[in-house]
Amino acid sequence: MATIEDVARAAGVSVSTVSYALSGKRPISVATRERIQRAVRELDYRPHAGARALASSRTDVLALVAPLRVDVNVPVILQFVAGVVTRARTHHKDVLLLTNDDPSSLDRVVAGSMVDAVVVMDIETDDPRLPELRAMKQPAVLIGLPGDPGPLSCVDLDFAAVGRTAVQHLLAAGRRRIGLVGPTPVVRARHTSFADRLLHGYADALAEAGLEPLETAAEGTRRGGITAVAELLERHPDLDAVVVHNEGALPGVIEALREGGHDDRALLAVGPADVVAALPVDCDWIEIPAARIGELAVDMVVDRLEDGRGPEVRLLPPTLARHRVTP
């Protein structure tokens, strides 16, 4: 295994010059830096993580808190995780994944200075983790928007705008009885931020049009989607459009509409691109850009580490598109 001395000999410089070039602590000429980088690549030199941490007070590790609860859609969660992990590598950072919601897990890695910063998913409107996150010395970025983020940075899709956009689009198409099949009852009861915000945007847009919200929570399964459609139609037989924000229930919703002879009801899906691409019917849709949000979370937390940038909130605007089944 190559050492820093090997790199110095190959580049024709001192060991301290190599150290300064790798750490960025002192300016090094472009030509010298290029020689050092070429030697690092050719020798496949990898600085010892422990030594790096001691020298810079940095571990180059980010913690990602992504609770994998039984009521969440794991494939969608993993799209966020993939965005975080791949973007972290471009910043030469590793990711420590914490998959439970036990606060002691975060306490251990933060108090022990095992990580430089934290990215936290599955944010609730009044998240019980916020006081702890605000008190940390390490910067944190939330994927989600609590009611009061305070000094914490946040990034997410603007789910309130998603709800408004969906309703306004369907109203413009002449639909008047617009139902919403939302996330699971457990997600709703926990007041997960994205679910609350989409519901508020949906309800506000209908109220502005003088219409009643027609929403129901659905289990994230095919059966849950079938049951949700039956419930909406029983309560509102004149239902003429359905917005679905529940990837697991979406196939059941489509099945219930098709087999029940309700193909004339408009369908608008909210979900990741790969989920919508697999749908067997034409429909309107609004993308949840999960990987992109994960990438932005890493960029924001690195900005806070490197530039001391203050807290900020980034909400991505929704994009409405049309999915068409390929013959």
Q: Where are the domains of the chain?
A: 4-47, 61-157+290-317, 159-288
Tens of pLDDT, residues 5-23: 889 999 999 887 887 777 6
Q: What pLDDT is stored for residue 54 in this prediction?
A: 41
CATH of domain 159-288: 3.40.50.2300
Q: What pLDDT is stored for residue 24 in this prediction?
A: 64
Q: What pLDDT is stored for residue 53 in this prediction?
A: 46
Q: What pLDDT is stored for residue 28 in this prediction?
A: 80
**pTM for the model:** 0.81
Q: What pLDDT is stored for residue 50 in this prediction?
A: 47
Q: What pLDDT is stored for residue 51 in this prediction?
A: 46
CATH of domain 61-157+290-317: 3.40.50.2300
Q: What pLDDT is stored for residue 33 in this prediction?
A: 85
Asked, colleague to colleague, whether 61-157+290-317 and 159-288 share their fold, the answer is yes
HEC secondary structure over the chain = CCCHHHHHHHHCCCHHHHHHHHHCCCCCCHHHHHHHHHHHHHHCCCCCHHHHHHHHCCCCEEEEECCCCCCCCHHHHHHHHHHHHHHHHHCCCEEEEECCCCHHHHHHHHHCCCCCEEEECCCECCCCCHHHHHHCCCCEEEECCCCCCCCCEEEEECHHHHHHHHHHHHHHCCCCCEEEEECCHHHHHCCEHHHHHHHHHHHHHHHHCCCCCEEEECCCCHHHHHHHHHHHHHHCCCCCEEEECCCCCHHHHHHHHHHCCCCCCEEEEEECHHHHHCCCCCEEEEECCHHHHHHHHHHHHHHHHHHCCCCCEEEECCCEEEECCCC
Binned average pLDDT, 10 residues per bin, the chain of 327 residues:
87 84 74 88 74 58 88 88 95 90 72 87 93 89 95 96 98 97 94 97 98 96 96 94 97 93 92 94 96 96 85 96 89
